[in-house]
Amino acid sequence: MQHILETVDVIIGEESRESWVILNANDTRNSSSKLLGSLESLSSYLDGEFSVRTPRILLNRTTFDDSFMADLNSSIVLNITKNSMSNVYITTILLSTLYIVMPTRNSTFDVSPFNTTSNETASDNAIMQPCCLSK
């Protein structure tokens, strides 16, 4: 898993920004969604408790009983309140520069006989915050 995350770390780095602009220009390709989907799929096959860190990614897999709280960084806190389950595995993947990968959108919905939707890329509209994938 370390090597996979090191590869993803390069893919979500500042050096790859121009490549993501090109990839995300094609709205039907969903390249950034496929990257997130791949990470989510990989997290389903993890076993045991462990943590992996790269410069831009923190993966943590652990178990909890009844409730769970994690302060992943200064802006993301994960809090799962009492749930009467025990020995539950939780995997979190914190991606500090996912905003480079995810296209920002200006979405509008036009109420007309054709019900058109605009979903144009708006690179000046990015939210420069980390993203957390939890499973």
Single pTM value for the model: 0.78
The single-letter code of the amino acid at 25 is A
Per-residue H/E/C for 41-82: HHHCCCCCCEEEECCCEEEEEEEECCCEEEECCCCCEEEECC
pLDDT per position as a tens digit, 52-102: 999 999 999 999 998 888 888 878 888 888 878 888 899 999 999 988 888
User: 118 is written with which tokens?
Assistant: 């605009």
Q: Which residues contact 70 (CB under 8 A, 6 or more apart)?
A: 60, 77, 78, 92
The single-letter code of the amino acid at 115 is N
User: 70 is written with which tokens?
Assistant: 């994690």
**pLDDT-derived band at 126, boundaries 50, 70, 90:** low
